[in-house]
Structure 1
Amino acid sequence: MTLETTIAELAAKTKSASTALVSLSTQVKNDVLESVARLLATEKADIQSENQKDLTAGKEKGLSAAMLDRLTLSDGVIDSMITGIKELIALPDPIGKIEDYSKRPNGLQVGRMRVPLGVIAMIYESRPNVTVDAAALAIKTGNGVILRGGSEAIHSNLILAEILKKGLALHGISPDVVQVIPVTDRNAITFLLQQEESIDLVIPRGGEGLIRFVVEHSRIPVLKHYKGVCHIYVDKDADLTKSIPIIINSKTHRPGVCNALEGILIHKDVAPSFLPALAKALHEKNVTIKGCPASVQLSDIVVAAEENDWGTEFLDLKVCVKVVSGFEEAKNYIYRYGSQHTESILTENYTTAQRFITEIDASAVMVNASTRFNDGGQLGLGAEIGISTTKLHAYGPMGLEELTTRKFVVYGQGQVRS
């Protein structure tokens, strides 16, 4: 059997199996998720043994420290996966909910019911915890899911797939509703993207190169974000004492993720006092600071930025700094170099904060908070399947409701159209 045929049959099986999910009660879906959480805890040693194979291979291939961090299934990561599932269990089930109910002049009663999207294909890199997050969200929303992780995480993803399938089978549900592509051949992605009769939505999650490849080759609608070039604007009315910890957290908490800080804009009125202290604090965290000429003059820690540094997603302990004349220049910079992912302002001025919220176009805008909070779990969605910087049909972290659509439901008493 060819790889193309294998992928086509796998997708068709998922489509067929997923039709039974829509009729499952919330309790049954929650019971499945509870079983998966329990299995993650009891089989932690086996999970980490398989994960170690991927880490060893990754080190031999020369993966960066940031990539290895994303690949590691530590006790903390597994515990957070379990916590995420339990938070998901506690959330309301959107499926079957009827919204915008109204009565038409002719007596027809019209509403819109939340229903699953169908089958979702997830294509992602490095982080094997995405396998569980995505599958859990799919199960709760009655969607089938096909998961294609990066080759660097193949052993981790396969054992997590076994656990997910065990959890489904324990409750009499076909394990085919969750599939992990079992091969590392890149052609599998190309063949997967051709299965428009079986797959309803593709969500790529990874580097810009992967996402552009998916968009260019997919016959199926794609929800995406190309990159996370996130900024913080330090306004002239910022509380400078709390600004440094926010910036440090945004940049250094996990520098290799999409909501990590990549650019700092500082109002010229506070730059002389604030930038040297900020540069010192960043330097102590081993952050390389690339700045505009004004920034370089204010601190000998700052090195001159090259033109191609502006708007770069470093995914590393590097950051750009620019001194700006005020709000308008900061806004224009963000519009030019931002990626509609996450933007934050540090200010105690209510009017300026509201302008920022209204005028900045990003999937999340924040006031006096770390960019790292643009995350489904942090925003109350439970686990997320990804962050969309497109606007059809989701913008920002995608939780339960973002994995549904709405169909019209009409109740009549014999009406006919004249």
Structure 2
Amino acid sequence: MDLEKHPREGSEARVDLHKRPAEPSVRRAPQPPALHEPQAPEGCLAVAIRIPVRIVVLVLVVPVRMLWDALVVTGRFLNDALLRPLGRALLWLGRAVFVWPFVGLWRYVVVPVGTALGWLGNVLVVVPLVWLYRSVLTPVGHAIAWVARGFGAGLGWVARGVGAALGWVYAYLLTPVGHAVTWVLKGLGAVLAALGIGVWTVVSWLVRYLVVVPAVWLYTWVLAPVGRAVAWCGTGLVWLVSTAVTGIGVALYWIARILLVLPALALWRWVLTPVGRVLAVVGREVWDALGHAWRIAGHISLAVGRFLGTLLRWIFVEPVRWVYRRVLTPVGHAVRDTVLRPAAEAARSVRRATRQAVAAARESVRQARADFRRMLFGEPRPPQLADRGEPSGREARTLGSSTTALTKD
């Protein structure tokens, strides 16, 4: 038995073995056999643990799998028999309570009211505003534009006169005065530039010999030697501190390695690694045992389910089917043939007779009404046909006669 297959798939495969396979119409080239990867050799620990673990896990998993299959069947039955019809009923109820009233309100209330309000707004607001714009605002705007154009033309004429006067004043009065002021300012600028150059020369000479030269001498002969001495002392101090820190670090490293790293490495290598390998083998075997037990429990659950289904069918379904076929069906046929069909024929005969009686009464009433109308108003005149020059009967047309107005005799 292949335990890797699903129970149903296994049953279908067993049924399909009895069928004759169809012969292919086209012969295919033989394919090379698939190469299986070589499995790693298993140790004695895995072989010793496998069988007891699988037995224990199978005993524990079979009730769980049977309970799971029973819950699945119950859930499917409840879904098909209760939840799905209830969901459809709730959906229909939700549509009837929430959707259809709003649809009817929108279709039969909001849309007509909106259409009426739009028509009223068009009649009461848009049409008067359009008339006001066309008949009042447009003529008033044209008049205001004409007045503004005239006022703008007057302002332009005045502005042109003022501009001409200002141009004369600029050309014959402001330009000579500006040239004279520019000549005076150029002279003053030359005098002030000469004074500034002299003052800058004197100040730069004083700053060079009173500030720059003493500062350079002080830096070269005082600050630079002192700085070199301080730098040499700082370098020596840094070397001393780094040497001390390096020695302390090397000592702490060897202390930590001897007290922490080597014991932890020995614990990992000689204790945790073997225990982990054993636990890994046990866990893998337990996982594989769970898979095999779950599939075997599926086969067992399928067999139990088929047995219970067969038992239920022979206890309840077959007796009910036998009662329906052997008892209820003949009784129903007898009742149909002896009671229902004669009753239906009698009902149809009564309905037919009633329909004929009603038709005869209606015809009598119609005839009486026609006789009463004829007695009061007399016989109606037969309709007279107008003479259109056409033959009255079914006369054949010949070459000697015509019915048209132009060739009529």
Coarse TM-score class (shorter-chain normalised): under 0.3
Higher RCO (Cα < 8 Å, 6 or more apart): 2
Higher helix content, 1 or 2: 2
- TM-score relative to the length of structure 1: 0.13
- TM-score relative to the length of structure 2: 0.13
* Structure with max Cα Rg: 2
